[in-house]
Each structure stands twice: as structure tokens, then as C-alpha cells.
């Protein structure tokens, strides 16, 4: 499980979240047993002001042994900042569709690849691991359905740059289990095994958990999720919150899949964060647990 709440969840908040709150949230998630907690993004603060404190958060963080703390970087300048702050795992992000690449990155897919290739090479040379994100893999609000072979082409670009893993993002949450299976089959047919893939689903149409189950049944073993169901893409129309970590853990527990994640501890971290921000918890299981227990601490 890759916890993306501290980055993907908080980047959408209208107000600035204090660094102290971010650090305590990240540490609580790691203590809850999550093996990977994505900390922040070293993007230009002009575009995502909520993450302007990236250096401070990463350097102040109490790192737990055995937990990975990746950060997102958009270019070489972001990579240099991340490495100077002590990052040892970075993520780069691209789009499966041309329109979203232009709207999200302000450049074509080819132009984006030309920027990310040296970033990945430099990170690998510095000893950092590199993960790849690919957006709009199951649907695009401007282009509609996305052919699997087009997704494979763009995904292999990232893998060829040296990414150890490719996270497939259903950015607007329009995919169904059939779409998921067909996409993973297309990667397999192109020589990319399921153990090189991860999935990153949004729950816009209520298909998030069903899509995760389809991915698991197709051999994918890594799932991205956001504590409390916070987040979504600020640059994509129709993108609602990420799949909630608590919802995912609850389903895995029911399937007898050992995740090592303490459901109540994650729900407690989500409840404390949302209370501090003055917002309701979007995730269903987190809400149910909070209602059942009266509150979660």
C-alpha cells in the first residue's frame, strides 16, 4: 500500500496546512503500519502553494525504520531541492492523454518525456529510486475513453527511464473492473508484468474498491490510497477524492489479505487531521468507525 494522503490529499486544501500538522499526520500514518507514505511534492509553490513547505516537512520528519518516504518532483530543479532535503525516493508523473498533459504540465507528452528522462537519470545516479505515475489511464474528461495501447505506450516510456514501478491513475474515476482487467492485460501483452504495476483509483462513480479487486485478481500487488479519502487532482475536471485508505484496509481484512496496517490507527489519524482542518472525513469506513466509536483517537 502506498499512502498518498499527505501529498495528493492535502494539495487540494484551500487553506495552508501548518507543517506541524503535516509532520504529525505523516508520522501517525507510518506508525499505523503503512509501508510507504508519500510526503510532499517539490513543485513550484506558485502552482501548488499548499506544498510550499516541502523542504521543512521532509527534513523535520521522524523517519520510521522500514518505511519509505517518496516525494514528487516535476523537473530537475525540483529534484535538486528534494535530494538536498534528504529524499531517497522520488516520483515523476506523466499523462496517458495529450490534452491532460497540456493542461496539467503545460507541455505535450513528448516535451514532458524530454524533461523527465534527465530527472530520472540524475535521481538514479544519486542513488534514489524512481517511481512513475501515469494519469488518465481509464478515461479523460476532454478526450473520453483512452485506448489501452496508448496507455501502454506512455507507460513504457516511464519504465524505460528507469522507474521501478508504474502507478496507473484513473484520475477522474470513470473506470470499471472490465476496463482495469483489459488495461493490465494490454501491459502484459506488451511484456510488462503485473508486478511492475500499481493502481491509483478515484471513487467518482463508486467503482474504486471494485477496480482494486479486479487489479488484485489480475496480479497487481501495489495499491495507492489516501487516508480519509482526501484529495483528487486540482487540474482535472470531475476528479473527486482518492480511494480511502480505510476503505481499502477494511476490504483487504475481509478478504484475509494481510496488509500490516492498523485500520483504527489510520482512521484516528484521518479524524484528527480533518478535525484540525474543520472538514468532514470523506471516506466511508472512516466515517462509519467514527460514528460507531463516537470519535477516533
Catalytic amino acids? 233
> Is the C-alpha dihedral spanning 279, 283, 284, 285 positive or negative?
negative
Per the CB < 8 A criterion, the answer to whether 147 and 153 are in contact is no
Per the CB < 8 A criterion, the answer to whether 226 and 10 are in contact is no
SS3 of 81, please? helix
Q: How far is CA 173 from the centre of its chain?
A: 14
Q: Which grid cell sits at 114?
A: 524530454
Cβ-count burial of 254 within 10 angstroms (0-12 exposed, 13-18 middle, 19+ buried)?
A: exposed
User: What whole-number distance in Å separates Cα of residue 256 and Cα of residue 13?
Assistant: 35
Q: How many Å from the N-terminal Cα to the C-terminal Cα in the chain?
A: 22
Nearest 5 degrees, angle CA 128-CA 34-CA 162? 25
Per the CB < 8 A criterion, the answer to whether 136 and 95 are in contact is yes
What residues contact residue 141 under an 8 Å CB cut-off, 6+ apart? 172, 236, 237, 238
Residue 49: C-alpha distances to residues 10, 46, 172, 267, 277 (Å): 11, 6, 23, 27, 16
Amino acid at each position: 500500500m502506498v499512502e498518498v494522503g499527505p501529498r495528493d490529499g492535502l494539495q487540494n486544501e484551500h487553506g495552508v496546512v501548518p507543517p506541524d500538522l503535516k509532520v504529525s499526520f505523516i508520522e501517525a500514518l507510518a506508525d499505523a503500519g503503512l509501508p510507504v507514505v508519500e510526503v510532499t511534492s517539490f513543485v513550484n509553490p506558485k502552482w501548488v502553494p499548499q506544498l510550499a513547505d516541502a523542504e521543512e516537512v521532509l527534513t523535520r520528519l521522524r523517519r520510521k525504520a522500514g518505511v519509505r518516504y517518496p516525494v514528487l518532483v516535476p523537473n530537475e530543479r525540483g529534484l535538486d531541492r528534494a535530494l538536498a532535503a534528504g529524499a531517497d525516493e522520488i516520483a515523476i508523473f506523466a499523462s496517458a492523454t495529450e490534452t491532460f498533459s497540456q493542461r496539467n504540465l503545460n507541455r505535450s507528452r513528448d516535451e514532458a518525456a524530454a524533461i523527465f528522462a534527465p530527472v530520472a537519470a540524475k535521481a538514479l545516479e544519486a542513488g534514489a529510486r524512481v517511481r512513475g505515475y501515469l494519469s488518465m489511464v481509464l478515461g479523460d474528461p476532454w478526450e473520453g475513453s483512452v485506448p489501452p495501447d496508448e496507455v501502454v505506450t506512455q507507460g513504457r516510456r516511464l519504465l524505460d527511464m528507469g522507474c521501478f514501478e508504474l502507478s496507473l491513475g484513473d484520475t477522474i474515476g470513470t473506470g470499471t473492473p472490465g476496463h482495469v482487467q483489459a488495461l493490465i492485460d494490454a501491459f502484459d501483452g506488451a511484456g510488462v508484468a503485473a508486478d511492475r504495476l500499481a493502481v491509483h483509483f478515484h471513487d467518482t462513480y463508486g467503482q474504486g474498491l471494485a477496480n482494486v479487486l479486479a487489479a488484485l485478481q489480475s496480479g497487481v500487488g501495489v495499491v495507492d490510497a489516501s487516508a480519509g479519502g482526501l484529495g483528487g487532482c486540482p487540474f482535472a475536471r470531475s476528479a473527486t477524492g482518492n480511494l480511502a485508505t480505510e476503505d481499502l484496509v477494511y476490504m483487504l481484512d475481509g478478504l484475509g489479505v494481510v496488509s500490516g496496517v492498523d485500520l483504527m490507527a489510520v482512521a484516528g489519524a484521518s479524524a484528527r487531521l480533518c478535525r484540525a482542518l474543520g472538514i468532514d472525513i470523506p471516506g466511508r469506513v472512516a466515517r462509519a468507525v467514527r460514528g460507531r466509536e463516537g470519535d477516533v483517537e
